[in-house]
Chains A and B, each alone.
Chain A
Amino acid sequence: MKRFAWLVLGGLAVAGVAACGGGPKPQTPAPQPNADSAAAAEQARRDSIERARQDSIARAMAEAERNRRQREADSLAALGRGAEAVRTLLATLIHFDFDKANIRAEAAAVLDPKIAILQANPNLRIRISGHCDERGSDEYNLALGNRRATSAKQYLVSHGIDGGRIETVSYGEERPLAPGHDEAAWAQNRRDEFEIISGGEALRQP
């Protein structure tokens, strides 16, 4: 849209220059003392006008192009910065207590910006994957991870997001984030991860 506007502006500038160049065309049915010199002078005058016209068109077009590029670059950068922030907010993990799947207060604070982002980007679809620490039973942890993923989904749905836009999966304890075998590592591994399935090309800030 903006690009089109600048093209139109550029076009107007060209038209203006053309009008200036072509406007004062002298009507000369005057007597000719020296036909040859008069014709030559006339020719030179026309050429110079034509050159000036061409030059000014080129300058105007170059200027328009430069402006257009600059604006485009500026707006892309702004857009990119925004999308990056949105992406980061969207991917922020939430964590859980041992053998629990309820959303803690700080997890809710992490989920709230995601609601706004999902509302601002109606085409956005996400996948939530639930994970567990290594202490629980291996197979039970798949069920627990599923519960963690669904409880985050339910939180989003209860705040007005269409459940059809959210997929849930569970990896149990099969994909730990932190490699250690202590509470610090376990606390990091009891988590939900959020990833974009589709609609993440041009993320709008809420």
Chain B
Amino acid sequence: MRQADGRTAGRAVGGCVAITLFLSGGPPARLSAQDTSAIDRGVRVGIIYRPGVRPGLVVLPAKNPILDSVRTIIARDLDYSDRFELITLPGGDSLHVSAAAPAARAAPAAPRSSGRSASPSERQGGPASPGLNYPLYQALGADFAVALGVMADSALVSVHDVAAAGVRREYRAWLPPLKDPRFRLAVHRLSDRILEATLGLPGIAATRILFVMDGKVDMIDQDGADKKLVSSTDHQAMSPAWGSDGRRFAYMEFWAGRGQLFVQDLATGKRGAVATTGHALDFTPAFSPDGKTLAFSRATDEGTDVYTVNIKDNCCLQRLTVGRFSDNLSPAYSPDGQRIAFVSTRAGSPQIYVMAADGTDQQLFAPFDYGATGASFAPDWSPDGQSVAFHRDVGGTYQVFVLDVRTRVVRQLTSVGRNEDPTWAPDSRHLCFVSDRAGYRQLWIVDVETGRIRSLLPQSGARLPAWSPRIPEAPASNP
């Protein structure tokens, strides 16, 4: 007994050394991505804003009520993309801006705009948007200005390059009526097209997040709007997961002590039970990127193991791990479909492992110090393939970590409260996770690049989030 205690103490010391090394060894650049203790929604946290690095963008006010809603949604989407310095027009968004107010606001951007003052002011009032005052917006620090218009059932979007004093891109897109359930998603798509037109990057505005609340699966837009129930109401549900086409998702329901997996179509809401599941406790489904295979965990008398089943032909149940009396669970495919990250207790405490998609070549993925590093859970592979997010026990509570797949270096992302079950946005830059930093467990979104954090749903009890791929345009049934 005394011997055992001595060993434990030795281990604890080892742990301290390891942690110290870890903290001091990380390059300072990494620290910038850690979240800070600020918890207020929508409040920006100091360290992360590097003026002059992110382009300034202004969404010009709109006159009619529909456009006003569109503008609000687009401005928020672009803000949440964390890729712009969003410029609010002083004086309540009035176009008639006094000269004094913008001067103060534009101060930080002055060095940048001075270099571009040569842009021809004669072009002001160009053909697309007569009266657009480029020098004014340039003085406000804007690199881009977005003007909105409406024509019949379409929205017109003009993206202006302020420095060049001209229209960079113009397009027209179908806009459903304000009360149409498809309205918001259509507007989110406009936001993503603006990101594409300005920075040449795909956005994450037209995405949704599945999560579990009160034992049911709910879905919410990435901006926190349009929460709705998607699973059945008569069975307790868990572990929602998206198909990589963004058209369907899977989840688990308890059926008389068994775990039954379902695959549900997003557009129609129709669902089907996954064949060969439901006779045992089957849970944590994960789609292969090609959509043909569903990996999941199955708990039996021998413990829990990772299985795959062909959901295209409803056949070919395959057992990938044979950890007799150890637990192997929570599979997560790499975006190329070649590998699966998972949790295993084969070394005692649960840690993150990786294997080939056929179950071969199983090895440790996220390094840990035996006896010192806390248990690790819930891996999620980023869509760009470069990182795996997971949560790990740190001093009796959970923190979100990110593993660099190439270097196998692990860094801690969160530090305030209990943070768990991270899920990547399709831009591989934002993570949604569960945190009790504001007093109770709720969903938060962090930008890994800047560390900016916002609350997705300020409602207690939301957990197990799953961030969708970009939701594709609805099939031909839509106009």
Chain A residues near B (Cβ < 8 Å): 99, 127, 129, 137-140, 142-144, 146-147, 150, 153-154, 163, 167-172, 174-175
Contact = CB atoms under 8 A, between A and B. Distances in A.
A137 B377 contact: yes
A129 B377 contact: no
A140 B343 contact: yes
Contact of A143 (B254, B303, B420): B303
Contacts of A127: 257
27 contacts: A137-B377, A137-B378, A138-B421, A138-B464, A139-B284, A139-B377, A140-B327, A140-B377, A140-B378, A142-B259, A142-B281, A142-B283, A142-B297, A143-B299, A143-B304, A143-B329, A143-B345, A144-B327, A147-B303, A147-B327, A150-B303, A153-B301, A154-B301, A169-B281, A171-B257, A172-B238, A175-B236
A146 B299 contact: yes
Nearest to B463: A138
Given A143-B299, A168-B301, 14 more contacts: A137-B377, A138-B238, A139-B238, A140-B330, A142-B283, A142-B297, A142-B299, A146-B300, A146-B303, A154-B301, A167-B257, A169-B257, A172-B238, A175-B236
A125 B350 CA distance: 33
A69 B301 CA distance: 49
B83 interface: no
Contacts of B339: none
A61 B150 CA distance: 99
Contacts of A171: 254, 257
Contact of A150 (B215, B236, B254, B301): B301
Interface in B215-239: 215, 236, 238-239
Contacts of B350: 137, 140
Contact of B329 (A129, A139, A167): A139
B258 interface: yes
A127 B256 CA distance: 11
Interface of B: 212, 215, 236, 238-239, 254, 257-259, 281, 283-284, 297, 299-301, 303-304, 327, 329-330, 343, 345, 350, 375, 377-378, 391, 398, 420-421, 463-464
A157 B237 CA distance: 32
B281 A146 contact: yes
Contacts of B301: 150, 153-154, 163, 168
B383 to A, nearest CB: 21
A150 B326 CA distance: 12
Contact of A169 (B215, B258, B330): B258
Nearest to B418: A135
B283 A174 contact: no
Nearest to B257: A169
Nearest to A153: B301
A71 B445 CA distance: 72
A140 B421 contact: no
Contacts of B327: 140, 143-144, 147
Contacts of A129: 257
A139 B327 CA distance: 12
Contacts of A163: 301
A171 B239 CA distance: 13
Given A129-B257, A171-B254, A137 B391 contact: yes
B258 to A, nearest CB: 7
Contacts of A174: 215, 236, 238, 254
Contacts of A153: 301
B420 A139 contact: no
A140 B329 contact: yes
A179 to B, nearest CB: 13
B118 to A, nearest CB: 58
A158 B466 CA distance: 42
A139 B284 CA distance: 7
Nearest to A150: B301
B464 A139 contact: yes
Contact of B330 (A139, A144, A150, A154): A139
Contacts of A170: 281, 299
Contacts of A175: 236
Contacts of A140: 327, 329-330, 343, 350, 375, 377-378
Contacts of B297: 139, 142-143
A204 to B, nearest CB: 27
A170 B282 CA distance: 10
Contacts of B257: 127, 129, 167, 169, 171
A146 B329 CA distance: 12
Contact of A137 (B236, B258, B398): B398
Given A146-B299, A174-B236, A137 B283 contact: no
Contact of B304 (A138, A146, A154): A146
A138 B239 CA distance: 9
Contacts of A169: 257-258, 281
**Nearest 8 CB-CB pairings of A with B:** A169-B257, A146-B299, A137-B377, A143-B304, A143-B327, A150-B301, A140-B377, A143-B329
Contacts of B463: 138
A175 B236 CA distance: 10
A5 to B, nearest CB: 44
B478 to A, nearest CB: 36
Nearest to A168: B301
Given A129-B257, A150-B301, A174-B254, A137 B420 contact: yes
Contacts of B421: 137-138
A170 to B, nearest CB: 6
Given A146-B299, A150-B301, A174-B215, A139 B283 contact: yes
